[in-house]
Amino acid sequence: MTSTVELPVWLFGLILLFAIVTAASHLLFPSVRWFFRRRMERAVSHLNERLQRPIEPFKLAQRHDMIQRLIYQPDVTRAVAEHARAKGIPDAVAFEEAKRYAREIVPSFSAFMYFGVAIRLTRFFSRALYHVRVGFVDEAAIDALPQDATVVYVMNHRSNMDYVLVTYLAARRSALTYAVGEWARVWPLSRLIRALGAYFIRRRSHSELYRKVLAAYVRLATEAGVTQAMFPEGRLSLDGAPQEPKRGLLKYITDAYDPEARDVVFVPVALNYDRILEDRILLEAKARGGKGFRARISVILGFFLKQIWLRCLGKYRKFGTAEVRFGHPLSLAEFVKHHPTSAGEDLAEPLSLELMGRINAVVPVLSVPLVAAILEDAAVPMTLEEIKAAYVTHMDHLGETAQQAQDCVAGDATETGLRILVGRRMIGEDDNRYFKKENQRDELAFYANSIRHLLE
């Protein structure tokens, strides 16, 4: 027992390293995690006092615990058994597949990352790129939403800036949970998006097991009162026009809805921009039949480096206005009362049409889209005065629908729209007359289409 054992130095160092790691994992790390967990809980408590809708405990749950809870839902376990029988594989293999889907979907929300980092970044980028404007918003109706209701912001999808802009503008109300497509499942972006509380979805998954796991997660989040944001159109508009709604996520909500439980309130949100950063990328995707986006990292980095260089030279100009408007909220409980369904009918279909109708009705009318529509309809080149007169005529026709800011007169707005369109070579100017270019028809229509349904 007291004899001496000789060891090589490298082996002694290895044993010592394992001893330190074991001691830290059993003694030090739990204490450190407990310390930071307590600090985070106090910070969230203070934060909830400022938010209109406090952060729900569901969002703050440990990710591992949430995954376990999700995969052991009764409907998920039944789906696992059915998947195993259909594929002829062991139940354990099907269970691991469901667990992989759950890991892919479940976020790991961090209040510090969301309110300490993301909100500051979204505010900086929104203000740096655009003149941000909030149009119509029924503050009384939104403030009067029941505190025990689940609020879901439903939005049109114009640009990837939608995530940034709405996160920034909704910062004082609550922390939003987004459904994010597969484009963001790249490291390290995926880690950041998970920390912001977003969950990933596969838009073209043909796996019934995957859909069951996703439906279970959406149901749990909705039942827990998590404030969510989703795009009924499902993907970015390739031609600028409003799209037909997809029923996927809305169907998960309506299928699990219990009239005796928590109400779900949908808040329509409409966005529009004088310039969409990825407009030409979207048009290229349209030309290929909608088969993916070709956005190279080198092009994106080059774009931002160019803007930084212009700012250093004092020649930087913002990309016009980005405006957000809020429609009238829609209670799912009230909608069900007025749209009773029989067995086999899908409530998500009339609901999606109603929500897209409310969104499209409040799409902001900005200078670039309206000037683009005027020139697209013009048979001959127009002078500045003719464009201004047409602008005023359209604005009078739209009335309250347009809700222009008080400091934006028709003359200034028209000149702003023309300056941006000429600068981007979407229209031509000759002898003080403006005309559409034959090789830029799709680009001009892309912006005009965003408000065409209002003009007609």
Backbone angles phi, psi at 288, to 5 degrees: -90, 10
Q: Which H/E stretch holds residue 389?
A: helix 384-398
Q: Are residues 211 and 147 in the same domain?
A: yes
Q: Do the beta carbons of residue 369 and residue 429 sit within 8 Å?
A: no
Rounded Cα distance between 255 and 248, Å, is 11
Rounded Cα distance between 134 and 146, Å, is 23
**Which two tokens mark 2?**
């007291």
**Which two tokens mark 300?**
């994106």
Task: Give the burial string for 166-196 (b: 16+ CB within 10 Å, else e).
Answer: bbbbbbebbbbbbbbbeebeeeeeeebbbbb
Domain boundary among 305, 335, 361: 361
Per-residue pLDDT of the chain in tens (456 residues, 90 and over written 9): 567 777 677 777 777 777 776 766 555 555 555 555 565 556 556 655 666 677 777 777 778 888 899 999 999 999 999 999 998 999 999 999 999 999 888 888 877 778 878 888 888 888 988 999 887 777 777 777 888 889 999 999 998 888 888 888 877 777 788 887 766 665 556 666 777 778 878 777 778 899 999 999 999 999 988 888 899 988 888 999 999 998 888 999 998 888 888 899 999 999 999 999 888 888 888 888 766 666 566 666 777 787 788 778 887 788 889 999 988 899 999 998 887 765 556 888 999 999 999 999 999 999 999 999 999 998 899 999 999 999 988 888 887 555 544 334 556 888 889 999 998 899 998 888 999 998 899 999 999 999 999 987
Number of domains in the chain: 2
Q: Which amino acid is at 60?
A: L
Rounded Cα distance between 242 and 240, Å, is 7
Cβ-based burial of 22 (10 A; exposed 0-12, middle 13-18, buried ≥19): exposed
Q: Do the beta carbons of residue 131 and residue 321 sit within 8 Å?
A: yes
**Which two tokens mark 380?**
């001959």
pLDDT of residue 404: 47
pLDDT of residue 176: 82
pLDDT of residue 167: 85
> Where does 88-198 have alpha helices with state H?
91-105, 111, 119-129, 139-143, 161-169, 189-195
Among candidate residues 426, 427, 321, the one with its CA nearest the CA of residue 365:
321
Residues 6+ apart with CB under 8 A from 69: 61, 220
Cβ-based burial of 41 (10 A; exposed 0-12, middle 13-18, buried ≥19): exposed
pLDDT of residue 447: 95
Q: Which amino acid is at 164?
A: V
| C-alpha 301, offset from chain centre | 22
Give residue for tokens 């229509």.
445
pLDDT of residue 370: 94
Task: Give the burial string for 52-72 (b: 16+ CB within 10 Å, else e).
Answer: ebbbbebbebeeeebbebbbe
State which residues form the domain around 406: 367-455
Rounded Cα distance between 152 and 96, Å, is 31
Q: Are residues 356 and 420 in the same domain?
A: no
pLDDT of residue 401: 53
Angle (CA) 367-369-370 rounded to 5° is 65
Q: Are residues 352 and 379 in the same domain?
A: no
Q: Is residue 53 part of a domain?
A: no
Q: Are residues 211 and 325 in the same domain?
A: yes
Beta bridge partners of 46: none
- Work out the angle between the directed axes of helices 119-129 and 161-169 (0-180°, nearest 10): 110
Q: Are residues 450 and 347 in the same domain?
A: no
Q: Are residues 210 and 350 in the same domain?
A: yes
Q: Are residues 146 and 255 in the same domain?
A: yes
Rounded Cα distance between 63 and 195, Å, is 10
Render 284-300 in DSSP notation, one character per residue. HHHHTTS------HHHH
> Where does 265-383 have alpha helices with state H?
279-287, 297-313, 332-338, 348-361, 367-377
CATH number at residue 234: 3.40.1130.10
Q: Is residue 108 part of a domain?
A: yes
Q: Is residue 245 part of a domain?
A: yes
Q: Is residue 6 part of a domain?
A: no
Q: Is residue 42 part of a domain?
A: no
CATH number at residue 422: 1.10.10.10
Q: Are residues 330 and 444 in the same domain?
A: no
Helices and strands, number each (H, E), in the chain: 21, 11
pLDDT of residue 51: 67
Q: Strands 330-331 and 177-180: what pairing?
A: unpaired
pLDDT of residue 178: 83
Q: Are residues 419 and 382 in the same domain?
A: yes
Q: Are residues 154 and 197 in the same domain?
A: yes
Q: Output DSSP code: residue 118.
A: I
Rounded Cα distance between 176 and 157, Å, is 16
Domain boundary among 339, 361, 383: 361
